[in-house]
A and B are shown apart, each in its own frame.
Chain A
Amino acid sequence: MSATKLDDKTLLWMYRTMLTIRRFEEQARREADAGKLRGMHSAVGQEAVPTGVCVHLRDGDYIFGTHRSHHHCIAKGLDIKLMMAELLGKATGTNKGKGGTMHIADIEKGMLGANGIVGSNIPVATGAALRAQVQGTDLVSVVFFGDGAANQGVLHESMNLAGIWKLPIIFVCENNRYAQSTPFEYAVAGESVADRAAGYDMPGIAVNGMSVLDVYEVAGEAVRRARAGDGPTLIEAMTYRYMGHFGADNPLMYRTEDEEDEFKARDCNRQLKGYLMENAIATEAELDAMDEEVLEEVAEATRFANDSPFPDPSELTTDVYVSYR
């Protein structure tokens, strides 16, 4: 655990955010198992990464996600009612039911979209940083991607652009060790994504992604650098996806139970809970009560989603163009 001095309010916000992610993902899994959606990518286990990053962000900053982005959305403050409705394809969803689990977006909240094409969002995030720089703001752009995307050429092109132009962007690789079933040790030459930053004139920092305090510290410095005009940073957060790639797959087809246990023993939520109790920031009873509140919020979101209507058939051909004439 890091020794960073953090105020109680921020710590409790982070804990509540991580709990919300965990409980939302668990409920979303149940909705998927009930056949209400298919092919959902769960982020249980990875709560600390977006939480430790997004805590440093403010209105106007943009984040960009992946196919596995529910946790990014929640950390950036999206309404879980609208998210759950989107998962169920409802008219009240963040995207009016048109995008679904892999494409949640909320421009007002600064979430410029989850994306189903691996690596595809990285240059788009670079463009948001370009806009922030051109307009003379101190806003930043954050792009989350996985260890799989680390091998897409577009990451390298984008890091080079950000490097030569000193763009205010943070490249956050959530290394959860598997691209579908392919282990990162197999797919990433040199077995380090962070080391690749050296070629693009930016710091590359590997951090324990199972510790939100460690992520907090590293991301804080990266965001400060970006706001100050000192350029981009690449963060490689070493984390773990507890569930399969998309839900229907059994991860024990390609990894051992011992490995899973090793990471679950370092569960980010439990670690933070322990820290809060040890440092007398909250009692166990208070934290359990918070969990109950979160569970009720998730239940409310689920009721809202299930009670919402499907989109009107006319919506099939709306939004194709802003204006088509």
Chain B
Amino acid sequence: MVTDVGVREISYIQAFNEALTDEMRRDPTVMVMGEDVAGAGGREGFEDAWGGVMRLTKGLYPEFGPSRVRDTPISEAGFIGAGVGAAATGLRPVVELMYVGFYGVCADQITNNAAKMHYMFGGKVKIPLTIFAGTGAGTNSAAQHSETLYSLFVHFPGLKCVAPSDPYTAKGLLIASIRDDDPVIVFNNRQLMGLRPEGHVPEESYEIPIGEARIVREGSDVTLIGVGYTTHVCRQAAADLEAEGYSAEVLDLLSLSPMDEDAIVSSVQKTRKVVIVDEDYPRCSMAGDISALVAEQAFDYLDAPPRRVTPPHTSVPYSRPLEALYVPNKDDVVAAAHEVME
């Protein structure tokens, strides 16, 4: 897949933006909408004033114009629902739900329409809709603007869910999501957007297949499973463990639904110990789901019970010292790895 010789390092935001731009050039049915995705509502002299709250859609309006790049009123139920209808009738809308906590305003459209129409209508309608949403704590934004909420969406059959963990996966997963005929939720962690770019991102278009995890670091003593931002945390922890003489394997989940069960099970069968690191609320979570999977399918291989590292069962605090205790960090992961390795 990679043809370049040099390393092309770009930010998460640039990689995501590049994927959107490429797909809009390739396919005239791809359109983008959301709050301030261009900004200023097309006001003359101020076109593309904003480019989305995370600047993920910057530059699309000048290139593709007001028909395919639409600022919306703050009406999530309306415009996410309109995305479902446009998708059902021939477009491939890519819609921004600014922060995932805003899902509540439009949950009906996502879970009762987008997720179910294909099934209810006997497979006769496709909903090739992509929704992307900002997630994650660590930005002093308090309880309503810092959530992760993977499991709410994963819970619903019919929705696909992906969580990129770096610029390379942001580009490849977004392209795959737009081309997918099912509705896909793309979770963009805000802390990942602030990190220094690392790793090669090919200039050409590529897909990362939905449903496949990847091993970002081979190891033999323990498997660390990360989802989105926590993959970054697992990588840091693996480096610390290496300095202590342990060999940690890091599995980057990438696809939450469908989930790559084989990759998880085979890694755990190899290392015989697993630490699952998830930033979402701990109850009924990806971490719990993966833990159950490992217990059911790899029990005989395990040297220790699966260990989950998550925030406590509480809303996200505003105060920075409390917030620092909330998000799983590398020290938490190293400590958990020590526990399972005894």
Contact = CB atoms under 8 A, between A and B. Distances in A.
B104 A253 contact: no
B313 A117 contact: no
A290 to B, nearest CB: 32
Question: Chain A interface: which size bin?
Answer: 35 or more
A254 B35 CA distance: 14
B141 A38 contact: yes
A102 B142 contact: yes
A316 B43 contact: no
B318 A186 contact: no
A253 B46 contact: yes
A102 B41 contact: no
B321 A311 contact: yes
A179 B36 CA distance: 9
Contact of A151 (B73, B102, B317): B73
A103 interface: yes
A289 interface: no
A31 to B, nearest CB: 12
Contact of B142 (A99, A179, A181): A99
Interface in B285-328: 312-315, 317-322, 325-326
B105 A180 contact: no
Interface stretch (B74-82, B210-218, B224-232, B248-256): B74-82
Contacts of B315: 98, 320
A75 B326 CA distance: 34
Question: Chain B interface: which size bin?
Answer: 35 or more
A153 B78 contact: yes
Interface string A133-156: 000000000000000110111100
Contacts of A153: 75, 77-78
A315 B322 contact: yes
B144 A181 contact: no
A60 interface: no
Nearest to A97: B319
Contact of B101 (A38, A97, A117, A181): A117
Contacts of A266: none
A255 B49 CA distance: 9
Contacts of A95: 318
A317 interface: yes
Contact of A187 (B41, B49, B312): B41
Nearest to A96: B319
B58 to A, nearest CB: 11
A185 B71 CA distance: 13
A255 B140 contact: no
A152 B325 contact: no
B42 A152 contact: no
A37 interface: yes
B75 A254 contact: no
B255 to A, nearest CB: 29
Interface string A238-265: 0000000000010001110000000000
Contacts of B326: 316
Nearest to B322: A316
A53 B144 CA distance: 27
A90 B317 CA distance: 11
A275 interface: no
Contact of A182 (B40, B78, B313, B321): B40
Nearest to B142: A100
A179 B46 contact: no
Nearest to B74: A148
B161 to A, nearest CB: 22
A119 interface: yes
A199 interface: no
Contacts of B139: 38-39
Residue from the set B39, B49, B319, B322 with the largest chain A CB neighbour count within 10 Å: B319
Interface in A298-318: 310-311, 313, 315-317
B179 interface: no
A148 B35 CA distance: 10
Given A89-B319, A311-B319, A317-B314, A180 B53 contact: yes
Interface in B200-252: none
Given A97-B319, A99-B143, A316-B325, A188 B49 contact: no
Contacts of B75: 151-153
B144 A102 contact: yes
A248 to B, nearest CB: 11
B158 to A, nearest CB: 23
A188 B321 contact: no
Interface string B30-65: 000001100111110010011001000000000000
Contacts of B143: 98-99, 103
B73 A310 contact: no
B312 A148 contact: no
Contacts of A317: 312-314
Given A180-B50, A253-B39, 8 more contacts: A38-B139, A97-B317, A98-B143, A98-B318, A117-B102, A151-B78, A180-B39, A315-B322
6 contacts: A39-B139, A95-B318, A98-B319, A103-B144, A120-B104, A311-B319
